[in-house]
Structure formats: structure tokens, C-alpha cells
Amino acid sequence: MKNIIISQSILLKLLASGITLKQAARKLGVKYNTIKTRTRVLYAKFKVDNRKDLISKAIELNILSPDDVKCKFYKRFCSLPINSKPTFEETLNQEEIHYLKLASQGLSAKDIIQNMSLTGIYHARYINLSICYKLGAKNITQAVANAKFLEII
């Protein structure tokens, strides 16, 4: 990794800040496809498949310091360590468990609203957000996976 050029170093720092590739392209004043290509080149150079591994390896090799990695990066890419169980903020109520069961069966939000006789999309969104918060998930798909892992559903 001695052959890392300045533009790659800058891109690494931007990726470690947790911004999207589109935001990185705007900051650097280049096209989105250029950033995608440069990111793929970095993945190949570091022999990794994803951003989390790329940043970890860059820190390991002292190309980035841990101070370069921002909180936003951890929130987006490192929500749960491998093989760890998510922690509950609160317990799920029966309505939320029923919503999770329906979501795990692949039902759409519209179908879940009809099946549960909810008052509307805002009620469904509230339940969805509540579930995600309680299970420490970014979205309902991750919440379903966490719930299955914890044997809630």
C-alpha cells in the first residue's frame, strides 16, 4: 500500500467521513461514475469488497488515523458488530410483533395496513420506526432479521 496517491488518500478520508459517493463526487467536482471507478480501484488495491473493510484496512496500515473516521461512518456502516445481538431499548408490543410477522412474510406496507386495519400510512410508519428504534435497526428488513435472530418471530 505504499503506492497510494494523494487523490486516493483524499477519497479514503471522504469515504471514512461517512458521506455517500454522490456527495463525494460533488465535493471533489467530478462525475459520480468517476468516483465509483476510483472507489472500485481502491477496493481492488486493498483487496476488500466493501467500504467498512476498506476503512478498517486503511487504519490497520496507518494510511488513515482513527481520528479520520467520523461518527457518521460508524452509524452508516458499523451499526452492529459481527455476531453480536442487538440490544433492546424497550420491549415490543403485540401490534409491533404482528407487524414484524407480516413484514417477514414479504407483505408490502399497503398490505400490512389492510391486514392490521391500521388508520393509514402514518400509523404504519410510526409502528415501523418504533420497531426499528427498539431493535436497533436501520430499516424494517434489518429489524426482521434482528427479530428472527432473537427468536421474537
CB 18 within 8 A of CB 11: no
The pLDDT assigned to 82 comes to 44
CB 92 within 8 A of CB 131: yes
The pLDDT assigned to 115 comes to 92
pLDDT band at 138 (very low <50, low <70, confident <90, very high): confident
- C-alpha 20, offset from chain centre: 11
Which tens digits make up the pLDDT trace of 97-131?
999 999 999 888 889 999 999 888 888 888 988 88
Distances (CA, A) of 23 to 13, 15, 101, 132: 13, 10, 36, 26
Least confident range from 3-7, 9-13, 66-70, 104-108: namely: 66-70
Nine-digit cell string for 34: 468517476
**Neighbour-count burial of 110, counting CB atoms closer than 10 A to its CB (0-12 exposed, 13-18 middle, 19+ buried):** exposed
Q: Delineate the domains of the chain, giving CATH numbers in brackets.
A: 6-77 (1.10.10.10), 94-149 (1.10.10)
Which residue, chain included where needed, has cell 418504533?
130
CB 51 within 8 A of CB 77: yes
pTM attached to this predicted model: 0.48
The pLDDT assigned to 83 comes to 45
Rounded CA gap, 132 and 41, in Å? 35
Which tens digits make up the pLDDT trace of 30-86?
999 999 999 999 999 999 888 888 888 888 888 887 777 776 666 555 554 444 444
CB 131 within 8 A of CB 123: no
